[in-house]
Amino acid sequence: MVNIPEYYAGKNVLISGATGFMGKVLLEKLLRSCPEVRSVYVLVRSKAGQSPKTRISEMINSKLFEKLQQDQPDFAEKIIAVNSDLTQPELNLSKADQSILAENIDIVFHCAATVRFSEPLKDAVQLNVLATQMMLALAHRMKHLEVFIHISTAYANCNRELIEEVVYSPSVDYRKLIDTLDWMDDDLVSTLTPKLIGEHPNTYTFTKSLAEYMVQQEAGDLNIAIVRPSIVGASWKEPFPGWIDNFNGPSGIFIAAGKGILRTMRASNNAVADLVPVDVVINTTLAAGWYSGSQVLNRPKSIPVYNCTTGGINPFRWGEVEYCINMSFKTNPLEQAFRRPNVNLRSNPFTNQYWTTVSHTLPALLYDGYLTLMGRKPRYLTLTCVSCTGQSTWKITVWAPKNMSSMKSCRGCLLHANTSTS
């Protein structure tokens, strides 16, 4: 079996969501570790008056791509921006672009998705289900396609205590849901959303579950694999430690705690904080593409699923996270902190609500009053409300994702990848 760089050599790769957090890292890692890849097509929409080409040009001039720029000064020539919009029919691709992709693409990485927990159901279905369905339809037309990698989430099936590496049937038929949402107005959809999503805590996990099942049902003869990362955080090693481009997810919590804005949070100290660095997820994704693409003649009967999680093999509990946050920011305080960092995790909802009022709401009101008297814009009560809203999106549950396939893929990566992949 060829190693990973050899497999991707000469291949034309398509990436959706390349301007997102994981998509950027995937693009950089693919070009840097697989220098012989022929070209990388990226689906990008126009935004804020900027063309897809301009957006990509600005993105690759960021710090994330500095190492790649040093190693391969002409790497940008391999990136082909394709105007596309996942909210539009046929992904808003022109007939010419559809033809080019159908004739040339060998590998697809579908990373695009909305990760907002509070996304209205209609929008979440459009971006996470219908867009994936249109990507599959496009993939069926690709004459040389070897593998289609769908990026999901380990929490797509968080209504289950044990999450194995299989695709589960959702409680709702995605076809009927799509038809129903088509004629419903937004107010009615909002009213029915809690009933429709059932045991899922939000529309994000619900629609990602539907997308997985839809991929399984409409795969046909496509060679498909699904990668399910858990809570994706800053990079571990590549392209350099600690890289992140947003304050979503755990990074936002850490910064809010470091600034002294977040003092209390509802969580169990003994629950596993299933955090995984973004570069680990991307390495797993590329390894999954290599492994599935190399096994075309010996494909498994069911779609391979890779739970890219850490809790089962190297558990890190929220109590440890609390300790590390407090010690780290006390030793290395942030500039312009609101107050001394001292976050506490509490599993009791009533105790947490009390300390939310005492440690968040009242200090924010007092400080905003001071800012108003000084003629400045009040802002801390808004930050407190955002923090509380983010915490209330999830309910406390302990999941146990199994990740044997992911471990197998990573072992294969170590056995077959040469030193140029690191």
CA angle 38–282–120, rounded 5-degree value = 110
Q: Are residues 125 and 251 in the same domain?
A: no
Please state the φ and ψ torsions of residue 296, each to the nearest 5 degrees. Answer: -55, -40
232 pLDDT exceeds 50? yes
Per DSSP, the residues of 57-117 read: HHHTTSGGGHHHHHH-TTGGGGEEEEE--TTSGGGG--HHHHHHHHHH--EEEE------T
CA angle 376–382–385, rounded 5-degree value = 160
Q: Are residues 258 and 225 in the same domain?
A: no
CA-atom Rg of the chain in angstroms: 22
Predicted confidence at residue 406, as pLDDT, reads 53
CA separation for the pair 35, 256 (Å, rounded): 39
Q: Are residues 109 and 183 in the same domain?
A: yes
Instruction: Give me the number of domains the chain comprises.
Output: 2
Q: Are residues 356 and 255 in the same domain?
A: yes
DSSP secondary structure code for residue 238 in this structure: S
DSSP secondary structure code for residue 297 in this structure: G
> How does residue 99 score in pLDDT terms, banded at 50, 70 and 90?
very high
162 - beta bridge partners? 400
Predicted confidence at residue 50, as pLDDT, reads 93
16 pLDDT exceeds 80? yes
Torsional class of 368: left (φ above 0), alpha (ψ -120 to 50), beta (otherwise): alpha
- Structural domain including 260 reads 243-273+316-396
206 pLDDT exceeds 70? yes
Q: Are residues 84 and 200 in the same domain?
A: yes
pLDDT tens sequence across 355-399: 888 887 888 888 778 788 888 887 666 655 545 544 544 444 455
Q: Is the pTM of this model over 0.85?
A: yes
23, part of any domain: yes
Q: Are residues 12 and 125 in the same domain?
A: yes
Q: Are residues 268 and 146 in the same domain?
A: no
Q: Can you read off the two tokens belonging to residue 135?
A: 């990507």
Predicted confidence at residue 392, as pLDDT, reads 47
CB distance 301 to 51 below 8 Å:
no
Q: Are residues 88 and 226 in the same domain?
A: yes
